[in-house]
Amino acid sequence: MSVRSNAAPADEHLKPYVREELDALSMHFSVCEIQSRMQLRRPDALALEYTRTMMGFLLFQPAPQRVAMVGLGGGSLAKFCHRHLPKAALVVVEINRHVIALRSAFQVPPDDARFQVLLADGADFVARTEQRFDVLLVDAFDVQGMPPTLGTQRFYDDCFDVLRPGGVLVLNLHAGHPQCPLYLGRIGAAFGAHVLRVDDADGSNSVVFARRGQALRLAAPSLPAEAAVQLRGAFTRVTTALRNAAA
């Protein structure tokens, strides 16, 4: 696949650093927040709660054929999907070439016919690509938070357009960010009533699910036992939130 990249030169993006522990690697832009974390003994596992919650899209799209991601980070979601959704084609868009340069350290698989990492602006990719996806995951933060271009009405309208009918948008938002209610309103304007917000236990992350043209109805994903065990708690959170929203 070829996509015209509007990604900025390397020196316009902050270079992340990697913190090594006995049993894990983590990616940081600052000491205040973790961008990604990898367990060395289980490099494909989802170490952070919000990433497991984002995989709740499987309750609405249990067998996606095409999945796009905006934001690579340490590749947690990309690796999990690559391993446990073997029939899905995956494309990951990352604007910061310094982040992509760490893909080997975080054991992100090499590009092949089914998996690809692109150096490009995520908002530009969503606006320009001719592909359509069953799932679009957006988890893109830098030291200043989520880029403003990923919170505009235009972006959420483009997310709607890039999804196939019944496709699911999944976004990770900072729950305490002053713009979070504005973003939620814009997502609602793009997707109508088919939106669900699921907050993490500590209240720091809000994972938002939005579906193109269909209600968010629960399905039964077929997953390997290893993946099902990891996602059990997340599936319970999403199911509970959906039932509470319907009450």
3-state SS assignment for residue 237: helix
Tokens in use for 232?
């059990």
The single residue of 44, 124, 139, 158 carrying the catalytic annotation is 139
Could you tell me the sign of the dihedral formed by the alpha carbons of 14, 142, 75, 110, in that order? negative
Strands 36-39 and 24-28: antiparallel
The overall longest dimension of the chain from CA atoms, in Å, is 50
Question: Which residues is 67 bridged to in the sheet?
Answer: 90, 135
Does the annotation mark 139 as catalytic? yes
Sequence-distant (6+) residues with CB within 8 A of 137 are 54, 57, 67, 68, 69, 70, 71, 77, 170, 171
3-state SS assignment for residue 17: strand
Sequence-distant (6+) residues with CB within 8 A of 64 are 57, 85, 88, 133, 134, 135
- Residues designated as active site: 139
